[in-house]
Structure 1
Amino acid sequence: MATTPDEWLKRLTLKLDTRQPRIALMRKYSTGDAPMPEMGKNTRASWVAFQKRARTDMGGLLCSSLSGRMVPNGVRVGETANNPAADALRRVWRDNRLPVVFADAIWNALSTSYGYLVTGVRTGDPVITSEQPEQMISAPDPVQPWRAQAALKAWRDDEVGRDYALLWLPGTRQLYTRSSKTSNGSIRESATGSDWEPLGELEEYAGPIPVFELANKNGMSEFEPHIDVIDRINLGKLQRLVVTAMQAYKQRAMKGGLPDKDEEGNDIDWAKLFEPAPGALWDLPEGIDVWESQSTDIRPLLDGEKTDLRDFAAVTQSPIDVFIPDGQNQSATGAANVHKGEIMKAKDRIARMTAPMEGALLSALRILGLDDGSTVQVLWEPPEHVSLSEKSAAAAQAKTAGKSQRWIDQHIWGMSPDEIAEEETARAAEQLSAAVLIGAGSGNA
């Protein structure tokens, strides 16, 4: 078990390097750069360019659809919406653009399996950032995985040619540095090594380690268990493109035996004489027939591709219309059933990622000196209701069932506490204006 900063540095840099190939592969699958099908060592550049057209960003579509149902929209501290700590965190939310920061961390977790949030200090104010899993690693607490026993961020500054590593331990942090090149002048390709040197003194800070890991279910990206299906889809698309491209170059042949020489004994270049061109007419000798290869029906290939996409939608619990746009032409009941799997999945991922997000906000409260033990709660838009039509229908049903307008604003419309307060003020003003107009009308009567 590591105990000293140098021991933790060695352990965490090795852990960071070990998982780099897998993180890099997940990045490729979630950014439309999946490995190309039918790739060989001596593949020509022209064939590589053709292969690239056979890839579709299925991993990215899957993560985009799911993250669209995971939208944090506010924060609450304690039992009341208005208190000094809640007001301070709303400023932190605004100043740090946390909807974007949290969305980036969620995307990293969904697409690579890990996202990271770090709470730091700049000019006395808390700063919350989303860090890339390519540069960040932590040793999670076995009991509470969103808390870290130790954490490390390693990065390179190309301008000065130096590598840096910032190591967090409980109550202390240490910055290390080294040259970006080895002793023989080659660029380093890993974070491990024994040549890291401390830069400056060991710093002390108050509170737990301010690094929080958002880990996806089973420590895997959303599409990682189904990479074989993505590869099958891309291979099928490549085969269809090859068949389609061949249709533009139909094979033709002359049947009947053409003479090699003309009447004067000169060689005849039949390929030049019968060169295909728009409007070309050929005067063939009697008994000569033209053979042309038949077109291949690509509809079975298209149907097979749709079947693979449906399989991918099924195993990932995603709506089919995410991958096949014409799949949205179905009944309202059918559409609702299709989204059930994704909604349940979104609720599970929200439950897993809320704690580290709340931990980052709690660290910000500690920096501001406002942590009084009250519970910090991140608020989310309801994953069941994403579109305006879904929210409107659900709000009408909830109103009929007797739910209060405030409950509807929070749990269906997904409003933040500030938005709810603003909306209530606007409603009160409208009611007052209506009452004034009604009173004026009655007086005139």
Structure 2
Amino acid sequence: MPIDVKEPLSAGWWMARLSRKLYDTRRLNRLERLDARWRGEPPLPQGAGAWKPAFSAFQRQSRLNLASLLVESCRNRMTPRGVRTSADGDATGDAEAWRIWTRAYMSLVEPEVHRLMLRFGESFALTSPVDPDTGVPVVTAEDPRSVVSEQDPLQPWKTVAGLKVYRDHIAGEDVALLYRPGRLDAAVQPFKRGEGIAEAADPGRFSDRWEWSVSRSRSLPPGLMPLVRFENHEGVAEFERHTDLLDRINAEILRQMVITQLQAFRQRGMQGLPVADDAGEPIDWTGMFDADPGSLWAIPPDVTVWESQTVDITPILTAIRDSLRQLAAVTATTVHTLDPGGENQSAEGAANAKEAQTFKIQDRITLANPRWSQVMRNCFLWMAEDAGDEEIRQAALDRADLNGISLIWDKPDKPSLSERASAAAQAAAAGVPWRTIMIEIMDFSPDQVDRMEVERDDDLLFAQRLASVKAATTSPQQPEPADAAA
């Protein structure tokens, strides 16, 4: 029975609507272009069509993968280190929530979600039911080339519906999963497979000829929307608005390589060579002056030899370095990240560049933080659904309060140890609590601070015992009573 795709707001209607958005040609082409640049395969610098096929290998050597560097320089400073909830919202966060985060392999999932967000301008995190092996929900990073969502026009951070399409090679089916608050609907379509049949990696496009999958469809915990969309600043990739500058840098590198290659061997010439011998016969000088290390040339006395000079490529190298500095400026990236030889700048200039990068990364963290709060809320709702004990269930629901969930992040700027120690001493003198100093200034993780606090108590107890023993061994001996002496 064909799926009804015409009834407004029905499951089939949502699937057809989101499928058109997922396979929009302009959208897919944009994502593929961004992915090619991230992989280090940007468009080749332009050249004459006649020699481009033979010159393509040489051109490929001129491509510099700056797109990936811009993404990673931002992503590697976006690191969560704790989770606060309504159950425990102090400086060190909720230990149980962090245990769930750790058991869900979020140290693998979180970087990939951020990487996709910075690479494509958007990414998704999908929370699935509790895995019996780990005892916590499964969270996966989803690529926008296979997942799409519809956001609430009045509250863009809320997802109204989401669609994921993939190919299940084991079951021999193309699967479309429609996520809505409290509901999951699945549709499938078998594909041909067998010996001699090449299976395409990408699934077929959804249509009304697909069939509903009862086994994959189910109701979800009330209020649960498993798919969370992460959007980068203005929905664009970190390098998307600077592709012209990236292409210019590659073109400059190509010009430098061409000049270097053509000038690898100096050209030599001779002036005054006779064109005929004494008998008037023309002389063929071809092959007589081979540039061989063991060859010896015998030339007439009136002949002069000249040698071409290499072209100075210093201006081109300077132009490349200037372009890299321009890229660092427009992307708020430190110069030494893009140009390791560019450290020789003023201390004030280096501080300003680092400050700009810190502000940018802090902005990306601000964008990602509420999305991760939604992901953790989904985890708690799945935990409450799976809990067999009412007390455990209620504790999970208490933690699912979105207003109390937030992540604790590493600082995007990394001050030196001496700077942190100096700031910690000043904060302690001002009366700032010890735990706050250790987390906010010394940059220790909540787990480390909890362990340090236990060790600190042990050190204090040991110091007290040592002081007691020392006092007992150094105190003067009391004189014996007179009657005892008699």
Same topology, TM > 0.5? yes
**Identity of aligned pairs, percent?**
32
Partner of 1:149: 160
How many Å separate the matches in 2 of 1:262 and 1:161? Answer: 88
How many Å separate the matches in 1 of 2:64 and 2:425? Answer: 39
What letter corresponds to residue 18 of structure 2 in structure 1?
L
How many Å separate the matches in 2 of 1:180 and 1:24? Answer: 25
- For residues 239-388 of structure 1, the aligned pairs below 5 Å read 239-259=255-275, 268=284, 270-278=285-293, 280-330=295-345, 332-369=347-384, 370-372=396-398, 374=401, 375-385=404-414, 388=417
**Could you say if the C-alpha distance between residues 386 and 169 of structure 1 is closer, same or farther in structure 2, counting changes exceeding 3 Å?**
farther
- Deviating runs (4+, > 6 A) in structure 1? 260-267
3-state SS in 1 of match to 2:243? helix
2:174/2:203 contact within 8 Å kept: no
3-state SS in 1 of match to 2:155? coil
How many Å separate the matches in 2 of 1:258 and 1:404? Answer: 95
Question: Deviation string for 1:372-399 (max 9, x for gaps)?
Answer: 2541111101223366566445444544
Partner of 1:8: 14
Q: Of 470, 473, 486, which residue of structure 2 is paired with 1:441? A: 470
1:16/1:191 contact within 8 Å kept: no
How many Å separate the matches in 2 of 1:244 and 1:157? Answer: 51
How many Å separate the matches in 2 of 1:264 and 1:213? Answer: 87
How many Å separate the matches in 2 of 1:54 and 1:397? Answer: 51
- For residues 56-71 of structure 1, the aligned pairs below 5 Å read 56-71=64-79
3-state SS in 2 of match to 1:305? helix
**Could you say if the C-alpha distance between residues 171 and 178 of structure 1 is closer, same or farther in structure 2, counting changes exceeding 3 Å?**
same
Question: Deviation string for 1:261-284 (max 9, x for gaps)?
Answer: 79796974x342211123543211
Partner of 1:412: 441
Greater shift after overlay, 319-328 or 277-286? 277-286
Deviation at 1:306, TM superposition (A): 0.7
**Could you say if the C-alpha distance between residues 324 and 142 of structure 1 is closer, same or farther in structure 2, counting changes exceeding 3 Å?**
same
How many Å separate the matches in 2 of 1:234 and 1:49? Answer: 14
**Could you say if the C-alpha distance between residues 165 and 413 of structure 1 is closer, same or farther in structure 2, counting changes exceeding 3 Å?**
farther
3-state SS in 2 of match to 1:371? helix
How many Å separate the matches in 1 of 2:213 and 2:351? Answer: 57
**Could you say if the C-alpha distance between residues 172 and 251 of structure 1 is closer, same or farther in structure 2, counting changes exceeding 3 Å?**
same
Partner of 1:99: 107
Deviation at 1:417, TM superposition (A): 2.9
How many Å separate the matches in 2 of 1:7 and 1:411? Answer: 49
1:73/1:99 contact within 8 Å kept: no
1:197 matched to 2:211: yes
**Could you say if the C-alpha distance between residues 129 and 221 of structure 1 is closer, same or farther in structure 2, counting changes exceeding 3 Å?**
same
How many Å separate the matches in 2 of 1:348 and 1:3? Answer: 35
How many Å separate the matches in 1 of 2:419 and 2:209? Answer: 58
1:210 matched to 2:226: yes
How many Å separate the matches in 2 of 1:429 and 1:144? Answer: 51
Q: Of 154, 167, 174, which residue of structure 2 is paired with 1:163? A: 174
**Could you say if the C-alpha distance between residues 43 and 404 of structure 1 is closer, same or farther in structure 2, counting changes exceeding 3 Å?**
farther
How many Å separate the matches in 1 of 2:324 and 2:88? Answer: 47
How many Å separate the matches in 2 of 1:293 and 1:163? Answer: 65
In structure 2, stretches of 5+ residues that fail to align are 1-6, 385-395, 475-486
Higher Rg: 2
**Could you say if the C-alpha distance between residues 65 and 51 of structure 1 is closer, same or farther in structure 2, counting changes exceeding 3 Å?**
same
1:428 matched to 2:457: yes
Deviation at 1:258, TM superposition (A): 4.2
Question: Deviation string for 1:76-104 (max 9, x for gaps)?
Answer: 1126359xx94442222111121221111
**Could you say if the C-alpha distance between residues 162 and 189 of structure 1 is closer, same or farther in structure 2, counting changes exceeding 3 Å?**
closer
Q: Could you state the TM-score of these two structures normalised by the residue count of structure 2?
A: 0.82
What letter corresponds to residue 33 of structure 1 in structure 2?
E
Q: Of 206, 217, 235, which residue of structure 2 is paired with 1:219? A: 235
Deviation at 1:197, TM superposition (A): 2.7
How many Å separate the matches in 2 of 1:204 and 1:229? Answer: 49
Question: Deviation string for 1:168-201 (max 9, x for gaps)?
Answer: 123221222235579xx99578635444332335
How many Å separate the matches in 2 of 1:397 and 1:294? Answer: 63
How many Å separate the matches in 1 of 2:300 and 2:429? Answer: 86
Question: Deviation string for 1:138-175 (max 9, x for gaps)?
Answer: 11122333321111111224566542221112322122
Deviation at 1:435, TM superposition (A): 2.7
Greater shift after overlay, 246-255 or 191-200? 191-200
Greater shift after overlay, 423-432 or 121-130? 121-130
Deviation at 1:133, TM superposition (A): 1.6
1:73/1:414 contact within 8 Å kept: no
Q: Of 33, 42, 55, which residue of structure 2 is paired with 1:47? A: 55
3-state SS in 2 of match to 1:227? helix
2:174/2:204 contact within 8 Å kept: no
Deviation at 1:5, TM superposition (A): 1.5
Partner of 1:229: 245
Deviation at 1:406, TM superposition (A): 1.0
Deviation at 1:10, TM superposition (A): 1.6
1:21 matched to 2:50: no
Question: Deviation string for 1:337-391 (max 9, x for gaps)?
Answer: 2211111111111111111111111111111111125411111012233665664
3-state SS in 1 of match to 2:342? helix
